[in-house]
């Protein structure tokens, strides 16, 4: 049986606090995609030991996040993910999500663009990689 979700009261924040997010004390403030601010108690993770599977998943997720950050900086690849989002009826203003999902499924367009048919090493990660000096979208 799952935990019962406690619903807190809805409050209107002063405009100064409308964009608050992060952690203050033992409360975590989160800005959702629809613009609402939610407050949650901060989890106490001090006594948690991650299993090997959890550690491996967190590393895979970190690699996918690093890839997506770099991939959407490239104008051509960003446009590809915007088009992919349109085809899959997802939010076209969030190409990062599509890049992350695509990388998790084994596709690495950035590697193919920069390295061609060269085989990607098994331990390769985009976390420490830098893009070659090229025009970057949005700058």
Taking only the tens place, the pLDDT of each residue in 82-134 is: 999 999 999 889 999 999 999 999 999 988 888 888 888 887 778 777 666 55
- Integer angstrom CA distances of residue 43 from 28, 39, 48: 9, 12, 11
The pTM of this model reads 0.67
Taking only the tens place, the pLDDT of each residue in 31-81 is: 877 777 788 899 888 899 999 999 999 999 999 999 999 999 999 999 999
């Amino acid at each position: 049986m799952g935990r019962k979700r406690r619903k807190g009261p809805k409050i209107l924040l002063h405009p100064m606090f409308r964009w608050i997010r992060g952690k203050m004390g033992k409360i975590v403030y989160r800005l959702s995609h629809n613009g609402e601010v939610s407050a949650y108690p901060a989890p106490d993770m001090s006594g948690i030991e991650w299993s090997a599977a959890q550690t491996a998943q967190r590393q895979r997720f970190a690699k996918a996040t690093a890839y997506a950050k770099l991939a959407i900086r490239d104008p051509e690849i960003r446009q590809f993910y915007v088009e992919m989002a349109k085809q899959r009826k997802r939010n076209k203003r969030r190409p990062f999500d599509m890049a992350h999902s695509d990388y998790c499924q084994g596709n690495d367009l950035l590697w193919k663009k920069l390295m061609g048919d060269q085989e990607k090493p098994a331990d390769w990660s985009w976390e420490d990689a830098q893009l070659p000096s090229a025009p970057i979208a949005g700058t």
